[in-house]
Each structure stands twice: as structure tokens, then as C-alpha cells.
């Protein structure tokens, strides 16, 4: 349905469950994809699976120099950078009263500050070509809060405000900036939950199940598409009705 | 008029869609030539590419008029 032929997309956190699926969806719509992540082996596996139009761009997002270089590397590898998906994220959960400065700062740095820097780095080319799509992967907890995730919720809510501000600034250049806010999604991260924890979570979700990475990827694919040109500054909540925002 | 001024003028005319006669030394990009703040960022990017120079953000803020741009680039290039 959506055609991204000739478009080049950089996906961070592509070694993870959701990021990998986002890359697959964009690639299936004929985009060239840049797969970024800290662990190179899963990126190579994914690139091999995708075949042509897939580039591996390992990057440690805790390293500011590597972050600054990434948009340029992606542009050189793919020829342009038209679609940026800021999907990479980390958690360092702890009760607020016990949260260390380091736990706070590392989550803000990787989830929020890196997103700022990658957006900034990608904008130059998008401004020049008068076309661009930025999709920042936020989280339902950025809107609802979650005990033990003061740092993560702050970063994810920060991404939303940042996306809206940037959306204002670059709308006249045909660049859209949106967020996707997943609820509970089946990934390696949620596999670690106990059955009791899972059933407690499911009572809060009207659809009665967790979401799949494919369902997040479909939302990203839509926002990346030419059809979504009139959608900017919004947050698309994909959470099974867990929070109707 | 210098070569630098000609090249700068060409970029300004193309980017802002203004008449060449209006691009005079004292012409302010925003007040006289109808640029918005994002246009000025794009002009600086275009100057950087045309002349192969880097214009740092604090210097870019001082480039308000066509004359400012020509002067800065002449000194930097």
C-alpha cells in the first residue's frame, strides 16, 4: 500500500524487537534502510535477511562522537537520509527515592538527548531536499507515568514536546515530525515479566493482549509514507486501548 | 562587484525569490527580503556549500544583511 521507493531510512535500535520490525516494514515498502544499533551481530543477521538496500551502521549511542557522526555515515552509505526513526532506548528503572543521578542522566542522555542530536544531524539534508520524515518512538508511559520509571517517562514525554516544537519549525519544508507511543509490546524486554506480572498488565488493556512489533512498525510505516504528509506534530498511540489519549 | 558578492547574490535571489535589484549591501534578509528565521539558516547552509567554508552558529547570527554575508565570506574564504 505505501511506497517508499527511492527513500532512505535510518532506524536506531534496529537490533531490538521493535526496531528490527520497523526496518523490515520500511524495507518491504521498497525503502533503503540503515540499521543502527550497539550490537553488530544482530544487525548483520537482519541485513542478510533483507538482502539488497540494507546497510549496517553500528553506533554506541552512549558515545557523543559516534552519535554526531551517525547521520553523516548514514547519508554516505545510503546516498541520502529521508526518514529518521529514533527507536533506540534504554531503561534504568528504580524507585524515585532511590534513583541515582547516573540512572537519571543515562536514560535522559540516550533516550532524549541522542534523539535531539540525530534529528539535528538529519535535518540539513531534509531541508535541502524539501522532504523528510522524522518518527520518534516514545512510550505510553511518557503520557501516563509509571512507578519506577521516572527517568524513562520524563525522557519519553520530553520526546513528544521536542517533536511538536520541531514539527512547527520545519513543516513549511515538507518535513513532518511525529511520535509513536507503544503500549506493552511482545519483545525480549516484556518476555522477562512473570506470568503474574503479565496477567496484571493484561487486565489494564481492553484488547486483552500485548501488541506485536509488527503493529508498531505499521504505525511508523504510515507516518513515513507520502500519504501522511498532512500529519505532523502528533503522537500515534498504539496500545490496545490501555490509555485512550 | 566582487566575485563573492555575485555568487552570494545569486544564492539569495534563488532562495528567497526576490528581484536582484533589491539585494543591496544594506538589505536585511528578514526585514527587507522577506526571509523568515529558517530561511536565514538555509542561506547560511547554502553559503557554506558554495564557498566550502564552515560558518559557526555564533557567527551566523551576526549575518543579518547581504553586506554582512559578503564581508564574512570574503574574510573566511
Query: Could you list the pLDDT tens digit for every one of the 245 residues in chain A?
Result: 899 999 999 999 999 999 999 999 999 999 999 999 999 999 999 999 999 999 999 999 999 999 999 999 999 999 999 999 999 999 999 999 999 999 999 999 999 999 999 999 999 999 999 999 999 999 999 999 999 999 999 999 999 999 999 999 999 999 999 999 999 999 887 888 888 888 988 999 999 999 999 999 999 999 999 999 999 999 999 999 999 99
DSSP A47-87: HHHH-TTEEEEE--TT-HHHHHHHHHHHHHHHS---EEEE-
Asked whether residue B25 carries a pLDDT value surpassing 70, the answer given is yes
pTM for this prediction: 0.93
Catalytic residue among B36, B39, B58, B68: B36
Our CA-based measurement puts residue A174 at a distance from the nearest CA of chain B, in whole angstroms, of 13
Confidence at residue A234, expressed as pLDDT on a 0 to 100 scale? 98
Q: Which three cell numbers stand for residue A111?
A: 533516550
Residue B75 pLDDT class (50, 70, 90 cuts)? very high
B37: nearest CA in chain A?
A169
The per-residue pLDDT for A1 is 82
CB of B45 within 8 Å of a chain A CB? The answer is yes
In sequence order, what DSSP letters do the residues of A120-188 get, joined into one string? HHHHHHHHHHT-EEEEEE--HHHHH--TT-HHHHHHHHHHHHHHHHHHHHHGGGTEEEEEEEE-SB-SH
Residue B1 has pLDDT above 70, yes or no: no
How much is the ipTM here? 0.83
**CB nearest B45 (choices: A124, A169, A172):** A124
Residues of A in contact with B38 (CB under 8 A): 127, 169-170, 172-173
In the residue annotation, A152 being an active-site residue is answered as yes
Q: Which of A153, A174, A149 is nearest to A231 (CA)?
A: A174
Give, in degrees to the nearest 5, the angle at Cα A155 between A101 and A72. 105
Residue-wise over A164-193: b if at least 16 C-beta within 10 A, else e?
Answer: bebbeebeebbbbbbbbbbbbbbbeeeeee
Cell of A68: 554526531
CA A4, A230, B17 angle in degrees (round to 5)? 90
Amino acid at each position: 500500500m505505501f511506497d517508499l521507493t527511492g527513500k532512505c531510512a535510518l532506524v536506531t535500535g534496529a537490533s531490538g524487537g521493535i526496531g528490527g520490525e520497523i526496518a523490515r516494514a520500511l524495507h518491504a515498502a521498497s525503502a533503503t534502510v540503515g540499521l543502527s544499533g550497539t550490537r553488530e551481530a544482530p544487525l548483520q543477521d537482519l541485513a542478510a535477511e533483507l538482502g539488497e538496500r540494507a546497510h549496517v551502521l553500528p553506533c554506541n549511542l552512549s558515545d557523543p562522537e559516534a552519535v554526531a557522526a551517525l547521520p553523516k555515515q548514514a547519508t554516505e552509505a545510503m546516498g541520502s537520509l529521508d526518514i529518521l526513526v529514533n527507536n533506540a532506548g534504554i531503561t534504568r528503572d528504580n524507585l524515585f527515592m532511590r534513583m541515582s543521578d547516573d540512572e537519571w542522566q543515562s536514560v535522559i542522555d540516550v533516550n532524549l538527548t541522542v534523539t535531539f542530536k540525530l534529528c539535528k544531524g538529519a535535518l540539513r539534508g531534509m531541508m535541502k531536499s524539501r522532504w523528510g520524515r522524522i518518527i520518534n518512538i516514545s512510550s505510553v508511559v511518557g503520557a501516563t507515568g509509571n512507578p519506577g520509571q521516572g527517568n524513562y517517562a520524563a525522557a519519553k514525554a520530553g520526546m513528544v514536546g521536542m517533536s511538536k516544537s520541531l514539527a512547527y519549525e520545519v513543516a513549511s519544508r515538507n518535513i513532518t515530525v511525529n511520535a509513536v507511543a507503544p503500549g506493552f509490546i511482545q519483545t525480549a524486554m516484556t518476555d522477562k515479566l512473570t506470568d503474574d506480572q503479565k496477567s496484571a498488565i493484561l487486565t489494564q488493556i481492553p484488547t486483552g493482549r500485548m501488541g506485536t512489533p509488527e503493529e508498531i512498525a505499521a504505525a511508523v510505516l504510515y507516518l513515513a509514507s507520502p500519504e501522511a504528509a498532512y500529519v505532523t506534530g502528533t503522537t500515534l498511540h498504539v496500545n490496545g486501548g490501555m490509555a485512550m489519549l | 562587484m566582487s566575485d563573492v558578492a555575485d555568487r552570494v547574490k545569486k544564492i539569495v535571489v534563488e532562495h528567497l525569490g526576490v528581484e536582484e535589484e533589491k539585494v543591496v549591501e544594506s538589505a536585511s534578509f528578514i526585514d527587507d527580503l522577506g526571509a523568515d528565521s529558517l530561511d536565514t539558516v538555509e542561506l547560511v547552509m547554502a553559503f557554506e556549500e558554495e564557498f566550502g567554508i564552515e560558518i559557526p552558529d555564533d557567527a551566523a547570527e551576526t549575518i543579518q544583511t547581504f553586506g554582512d554575508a559578503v564581508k564574512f565570506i570574503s574574510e573566511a574564504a
